[in-house]
Amino acid sequence: MTVSVTTNESKVDVLIVGAGPAGLMLATQLSKLKIDTRIVDKMAHPVLRGHADGLQCRTGEVFEALNVHREFDAETHECAEVIIWDPDQNGGIHETSRVVDTVPGMSRVRHVNLGQDRVEAIFIDAMKKANNLEVERLTSPTSFTVDETALDDNDAFPITVTLKKLPPPAEWANGDVKSGMYRSNLFTDESQTASNAVEADHSGEETVHCKYLVGCDGARSWVRKNLGLELKGDSANVYWGAFDAVVDSDLPTTRMKNVIHSKDAGTVLMVPREDGMVRVYTQMGELKPGERVDRAAVTIEKLMEKTQQVLKPYRIDFPYIDWYTCYEIGQRVCDTFSQYKDHILIAGDACHTHSPKAGQGMNVSMMDTFNLGWKLASVLRGQAKRDILHTYQLERQKTAHQLIEFDRKFSALFTGKAKTAERAGVSPEEMRKAWDDSIRFTSGTGVVYEPNMIVGKANPWLAKNITVGSHFENHQVVGAFNAHALQLQGRLLADGRWRIVIFPGDIRNKDNFAALKALGDALGSKSGPAPKYTPKGEDLDSVIQTLTVFATPHREVQYAAPTLPSILQPTKKPHGIKDFDCFMCDEPSYHSGEGKAYAGYGIDPAVGCVVVVRPDQHVSGVFAMDEAKEISDFFDSFMIAPSPKS
């Protein structure tokens, strides 16, 4: 008698564990770039309501770059002002100050709220549309092995992961989906992972060989633990309650963001959202190392009662509760985000955790994998050396440390008692200052990557206001051929392409015209980066796109265009027509005012400059108009030319 053994084995370039915001952002980017990808999640459903809901400015910019913003533009809720309340003389509270929520001018996109359920759904739609990629649910890894001899071989699949199909959710103690405890991190949900629960049972298993394994599996990350890594930081945790409810109150500012600091009842943060609802955060208590939350302490009744106490003498009732949760948080970071020569990576809550007050969790997690996605794609496509992957760890770990540092300070202000006439404590001024500072920091627009192989040195005299390593900021320009007001940053789509953004000044001046012509001729020559790194038969802008922003009125650019080197305005498939979208002008628009881009970037139109921008909109370097060779050298340092056969 013979036993037939079905070996369930397969290969995939990238295996993502965890389909929260971090995993879905990565999956969406990789599907748009047509990278062979799988994504698994142990849970039966995505988040259904509640959870994180703040989308910071920089996140909004990235959503636009990924072209997923239209879906949610209609749904987001924006909060214009933050009202800070402090104890008054009579044991009640009174408004002590108001601050704008998104500091004007910080970003062209504003800070908004949108439930994590909708954010996840938008990604799930986008990745399905882009490359038919879907989340494989009720699936969890049980083990992995690494072939350390194959880590430098680009064609090898050095990571082998065993995946297991989990029993349907009814059989789990999985929290109640509706109560909001579903996917809460209050409970040791290790019991829900196949690895612990059903170790001995090998049915429903599959062996997957992959080039890269990315753990986006949240604060209790299985991938992190199985790499032998841990989150380091504060040992004491606080636990927070959060709920979404329709609010009936005589507080005059329920449709604003309210930070309410009571004398003795603690602090409440209220954020207005869609359908007349408000998200309420209340800090519930502190936990000693090893201590677990008492489940009985986190009923919705407790959360409401706590809120009512803080708001006194104002009345607040909740005619409708949509969702509530409670979760514990400490400020912690993992020592490393990458192992096995960057073949196994972790991202999001798996490598850093912090409080919800500044609305960072979902944002920083998505920004981690936004940083990683295009790098993985460039390497897998054979366009870039594998070394660029290590910049993920370099760039994102520093950001995580800054965040944790900030959150520690900011949380202390929240937790600290309010200053009153009788006692010391957090004063309205301190609170206000912390909020002001936090708004700038938490927008995500402050992230600057330090010099590394894809972040070059700065030439601050060429573009005073462009910070190398930071994202390319927006200034409005005008389309040269259609005279439309355009947001320049919005043209830098996250489609995997690099960009050479040329600021030639006013080409009606002979010198500027000559400099642009010389630069164009050099960039367009055989050894120029776009011709060198573009596969045969593809449009010349498909790997590196050239954009030119003239300090010349659009009418003159229209008539001058035929005299400029063709690399600047390449012809495009399928009709062989010149691209009309790559020439822009710094001039007033008809309907949307004047962008003053040269002034905004600090570029002297008499001198001009060239800005090289990465696929994630971060600036790699600023070059002089006559530095075509230096630009080529930069790309040569990490890019790989297509083999002549292909």
Ligand X SMILES: Cc1cc2nc3c(=O)[nH]c(=O)nc-3n(C[C@H](O)[C@H](O)[C@H](O)COP(=O)(O)OP(=O)(O)OC[C@H]3O[C@@H](n4cnc5c(N)ncnc54)[C@H](O)[C@@H]3O)c2cc1C
Task: List binders of ligand X among 216-275 (CB under 6 A).
Answer: 216-218, 222, 242
# residues contacting its own copies (CB under 8 A): 41
Nearer to its own copies, 48 or 256 (CB): 256
SS3 475: coil
359-377 CB burial, b ≥16 within 10 A, e <16? bbbbbbbbbbbbbbbbbbb
Q: How far is the CB of 353 from ligand X (least distance, A)?
A: 7
Rounded to whole angstroms, the Cα distance separating 180 from 170 reads 16
Tell me which of 134, 148, 190, 248 binds its own copies, using CB under 8 A.
Answer: 248
Task: List binders of ligand X among 308-337 (CB under 6 A).
Answer: 325, 327
Instruction: State how beta strands 344-346 and 205-215 pair.
Output: parallel
Q: Which does 558 bind (CB under 5 to 8 A by kind): its own copies, ligand X, none?
A: its own copies
Q: How far is the CB of 209 from its own copies (least distance, A)?
A: 41
* 22 lines the binding site for ligand X (CB under 6 A): yes
Tell me which of 590, 643, 645, 646 binds its own copies, using CB under 8 A.
Answer: 590
Tell me which of 8, 34, 94, 100 binds its own copies, using CB under 8 A.
Answer: 100
# residues contacting ligand X (CB under 6 A): 36
281 is an active site residue: yes
The answer to whether the beta carbons of residues 367 and 373 sit under 8 Å apart is no
Q: Which does 70 bind (CB under 5 to 8 A by kind): its own copies, ligand X, none?
A: its own copies
295 is an active site residue: no
Rounded to whole angstroms, the Cα distance separating 158 from 142 reads 17
Contacts of 8 (CB under 8 A, 6+ apart): 205, 206, 207
Q: How far is the CB of 521 from ligand X (least distance, A)?
A: 44
DSSP string, 326-352: EEEE--EEES-SEETTTTEEE-GGGTE
Exactly one of 46, 87, 356, 529 is catalytic; name it: 356
* 587 lines the binding site for ligand X (CB under 6 A): no
**Residue at 13: amino acid letter:** D
Task: List binders of ligand X among 51-70 (CB under 6 A).
Answer: 51-52, 54
Rounded to whole angstroms, the Cα distance separating 562 from 285 reads 69
* 483 lines the binding site for its own copies (CB under 8 A): yes
**Which tokens hold the place of 264?**
């003795």
DSSP string, 616-646: TSBEEEEE-TT-HHHHHHHHHTTB-PPPTT-
Q: Which does 361 bind (CB under 5 to 8 A by kind): ligand X, its own copies, none?
A: ligand X
Q: Could you give phi then psi for residue 220, rounded to 5 degrees?
A: -100, 35
Per-residue x/- marks for ligand X, 177-216, CB under 6 A? Answer: ------xxx-------x----------------------x
* 15 lines the binding site for ligand X (CB under 6 A): no
The answer to whether the beta carbons of residues 480 and 558 sit under 8 Å apart is yes
Length of the chain: 646
Q: Could you give phi then psi for residue 186, rounded to 5 degrees?
A: -70, -25
Peptide bond just before 158 cis, omega within 30 deg: no
Contacts of 2 (CB under 8 A, 6+ apart): none
Give the distance, in angstroms, between the CA of residue 30 and the centroid of all CA atoms in the same chain. Answer: 14
**Interacting stretch for its own copies, rule CB under 8 A, among 1-9, 246-254, 328-336, 393-401?**
246-254
Q: How far is the CB of 254 from its own copies (least distance, A)?
A: 8
Task: List binders of its own copies among 293-322 (CB under 8 A).
Answer: 319-320
Exactly one of 220, 273, 396, 614 is catalytic; name it: 273
Give, for 283, the enclosing helix (H) or strand (E).
strand 277-287
Q: How far is the CB of 228 from its own copies (least distance, A)?
A: 48
Give me the residues paired with residue 267 across strands: 261
Contacts of 4 (CB under 8 A, 6+ apart): none
Tell me which of 148, 201, 250, 437 binds its own copies, using CB under 8 A.
Answer: 250
Nearer to its own copies, 231 or 247 (CB): 247
Exactly one of 53, 189, 506, 541 is catalytic; name it: 53
* 27 lines the binding site for ligand X (CB under 6 A): no
CA distances in angstroms from 6 to 62, 142, 200, listed in the order given: 44, 18, 18
Nearer to its own copies, 220 or 257 (CB): 257
* 575 lines the binding site for its own copies (CB under 8 A): yes
* 125 lines the binding site for its own copies (CB under 8 A): no
590 is an active site residue: no
* 580 lines the binding site for its own copies (CB under 8 A): yes
570 is an active site residue: no
The answer to whether the beta carbons of residues 480 and 586 sit under 8 Å apart is no
SS3 127: helix
Task: Locate all alpha helices (DSSP H) within 321-473, ordered by sequence.
Answer: 361-380, 390-415, 428-442
Question: Is residue 235 packed enough to be buried (19+ CB in 10 Å), middle (13-18) or exposed (0-12)?
Answer: exposed
Catalytic residues: 53, 273, 281, 356
Binding residues (CB under 8 A) for its own copies: these are: 70, 74, 78-81, 98, 100, 102, 104, 110, 246-248, 250, 252-256, 272, 276, 319-320, 479, 481-484, 555, 558-559, 561-562, 575-577, 580, 589-591
Binding residues (CB under 6 A) for ligand X: these are: 17-23, 40-43, 51-52, 54, 116, 140-141, 183-185, 193, 216-218, 222, 242, 325, 327, 348-350, 356, 359, 361-362, 365
